[in-house]
A and B are shown apart, each in its own frame.
Chain A
Amino acid sequence: MKQFLGFLVKEFYHIFRDFRTLLILFGMPVAQIMLFGFAITNEVKDVKIAILDESKDNITKEISSKLLSSGYFIAYDNLKSVKDIEPEFRKGMIKEVIIFEPNFSGNLLKLGKANVQLIADASEPNLANMIVGYTSSILMDYQKDLAKSGDIRPSINTDVKMRYNPNLKSVFMFVPGLMAVILLLVSALMTSISITKEKEIGTMEVLLVSPLKPFQIIIGKVIPYLLLAFVNAFVILGLAQFVFGVPIAGNTVLLLLESTLFVITSLSLGIFISTISNSQQTAMMVSLGGLMLPTIILSGYIFPIENMPIPLQIISNIVPARWFITIVKSIMLKGAGFEYIIKETLVLAGMTVFLIALSIKKFKTRLE
């Protein structure tokens, strides 16, 4: 045990004396969450829109004022005609134009059907999507109100789903994915580099010749990162909650336990990578290319899995972060209990066992 503690102390020396390691461990999580929280925001706020009202009746005026008082939009200028739209878009002065057809309220009240056209500047596709979504939901609201007072059916079909995040706060969506990315990076990348570093400088051989057992060496290498990743999970959740006001709807203990499971999965990935690579560079390339990219792209972090082509959807099943993100979203945003995430938990646990078994096998053949 004393041997083992000595080993741990040594590992912490390595970590705390390497500025770059420290930066990745502690600077990156904070920087990332700040970036995603503040800079790369998908929120709609004070977007300049123009309203081309060819009807100018009570209803269109009401809708216009409803749109403009929502806080999402500010009126740029009321356009005079359709011809004006193109130049304004080109100048980038407006992001969206709303065109009410002539005799809007007449059509709506008599025919039960009226047309409004939304034109968005799609050079920023995500933003355009958002703006259109917001606008449509405001229109829907208005129609519902109208339906209550009369017998008019909604005429515009908007299909915008905003459950669990009614304010469309983007940080809500980023936090689970960010947790996955950071925990994976800290655990898998850092351990694989730290293990291959010992191989590279030749100390691994010395350790193997010593009375330390191979599993003690590996566990000793892994424990510091397990602890640090845990600290990181706290930091991320803390920042999310206190800086960005993301609530943790479910059980925090359950969330931390699941995070620990994911960290262990990532650590076993890191160990596996270190058994197949002989240099720090290789370990880094494999970790970044083989882990980070799929995690960012195929986990549902940025792009919804449901919208991917079927082959990619199938591949996404082997990305551990995909399951972890589902777990975090369920607990954090939906307040789900353990019974709703049993499947995901089992998948992660299964992956961990598989990876550890594979690593042990690889490690043994290496020694021969």
Chain B
Amino acid sequence: MEDNKIIYAENLTKKFGNFTAVNSISFSVNKGEIFGFLGANGAGKTTAIRMLCGLSTPTSGKATVAGFDVFKQTENIKKNIGYMSQKFSLYEDLTVKENIVFYGGIYGLSNKEIKEKTDYLVDILKIGDARNKLIKSLPLGWKQKLAFSVSILHNPKIVFLDEPTGGVDPVTRRQFWNMIYDAASKGVTVFVTTHYMDEAEYCNRVSIMADGVIAAMDTPSKLKESYNVKTMHDVFVKIAR
């Protein structure tokens, strides 16, 4: 296995009784890459992500995340990844600062680090006045950006984003992707699922899952070329139909 491959999966399979949710998928993600993990609802994306995050033990196959085995070293994996779910992941009844302190705390950041990070985020997200406001009083776009910032607070090697931009307006989505690029440029590997095909175009490489298997995997431009269509949307429709 090359050092460059930060996520590596080989014949990874998950069965629930007779139902095979993920059927022998093999892929790898390079360090610093923005990897789009696409697929229709029910294609097995969430199950795959849960296995990679150490939440669910695979039925068979092999996989390493940040160099750690998904069967045996889930504790190590958890320390090295960030996660943001499609549901909003900050506490609404806590302030911006308290959320940062809490999440920083559970990842074992020191008080000094937490304070530095808080100042940095408040500055970068331009929410100076809102630092002590409850999350529920903030607009959705801010919350979403803050949630992403919090998910990479502990400088993880990989961040898993499960449909992070659901329900967000196009301008905020654009800003959100700028933050993703920014994180990737600093060496964080981004593993992102989305239903927005314009977002798929932003990824370095995408894989498209259908019925538990990876139906296609390449850069967006090569995929469009090989399927002879103009947009990722058309590629997706052809495969996931």
The answer to whether the Cβ of B219 comes within 8 Å of any Cβ in the partner chain is no
B47-81 contact mask (Cβ, 8 Å, vs A): 1 or 0: 00000011111000000000000000001001101
Q: How far is the CA of A14 from the CA of B95 in the complex (A)?
A: 11
* CB–CB B85/A367 < 8 A: no
The smallest C-beta distance from B52 to any residue of chain A, in angstroms, reads 10
The answer to whether the Cβ of B94 comes within 8 Å of any Cβ in the partner chain is yes
* Interface residue from A3, A7, A201 paired with B108 (Cβ < 8 Å): A3
* CB–CB A209/B94 < 8 A: no
* CB–CB B91/A10 < 8 A: yes
* Interface residue from B88, B103, B106 paired with A202 (Cβ < 8 Å): B88
The smallest C-beta distance from A2 to any residue of chain B, in angstroms, reads 6
* CB–CB B106/A212 < 8 A: yes
The answer to whether the Cβ of A241 comes within 8 Å of any Cβ in the partner chain is no
Q: How far is the CA of A205 from the CA of B53 in the complex (A)?
A: 10
Which residue of chain A has the shortest Cβ distance to B147 in the bound complex? A206
Tell me the chain A residues, 1-37 only, with Cβ under 8 Å from chain B: 2-3, 5-7, 9-10, 13-14, 17-18
The answer to whether the Cβ of A281 comes within 8 Å of any Cβ in the partner chain is no
Taking CB atoms, residues of chain A closer than 8 Å to B102 are 6-7, 9-10
* Interface residue from B16, B85, B107, B160 paired with A210 (Cβ < 8 Å): B107
The answer to whether the Cβ of A208 comes within 8 Å of any Cβ in the partner chain is yes
* CB–CB B87/A207 < 8 A: no
* CB–CB A201/B92 < 8 A: yes
The answer to whether the Cβ of B98 comes within 8 Å of any Cβ in the partner chain is yes
* CB–CB B85/A206 < 8 A: yes
Q: How far is the CA of A360 from the CA of B224 in the complex (A)?
A: 48
The smallest C-beta distance from B105 to any residue of chain A, in angstroms, reads 3
* Interface residue from B85, B91, B98, B105 paired with A2 (Cβ < 8 Å): B105
* CB–CB A368/B56 < 8 A: yes
* CB–CB B55/A209 < 8 A: yes
How many contacts between A and B, using CB within 8 angstroms? 77
* CB–CB A210/B106 < 8 A: yes
Which residue of chain B has the shortest Cβ distance to A18 in the bound complex? B93
Q: How far is the CA of A2 from the CA of B86 in the complex (A)?
A: 28
Task: Knowing A6-B101, A201-B88, A206-B89, say if A211 contacts B94 (CB, 8 Å).
Answer: no
Q: How far is the CA of A5 from the CA of B106 in the complex (A)?
A: 9
Tell me the chain A residues, 313-328 only, with Cβ under 8 Å from chain B: none
Tell me the chain B residues, 102-119 only, with Cβ under 8 Å from chain A: 102-103, 105-108
Q: How far is the CA of A186 from the CA of B78 in the complex (A)?
A: 33
* CB–CB A3/B106 < 8 A: yes
* CB–CB A10/B108 < 8 A: no
Tell me the chain B residues, 94-151 only, with Cβ under 8 Å from chain A: 94, 98, 101-103, 105-108, 134, 151
Taking CB atoms, residues of chain A closer than 8 Å to B94 are 10, 13-14
Taking CB atoms, residues of chain A closer than 8 Å to B75 are 211
Taking CB atoms, residues of chain B closer than 8 Å to A14 are 91, 93-94
* CB–CB A368/B57 < 8 A: yes
* CB–CB B55/A208 < 8 A: yes
What are 17 A-B pairs at a CB distance below 8 A? A6-B101, A9-B102, A10-B98, A13-B94, A13-B98, A201-B87, A201-B88, A201-B92, A202-B89, A205-B83, A205-B89, A206-B83, A207-B106, A210-B83, A210-B107, A211-B79, A368-B57
Known: A13-B93, A206-B84, A209-B81. 5 other contacts (CB 8 A): A5-B105, A7-B102, A13-B94, A203-B90, A206-B85
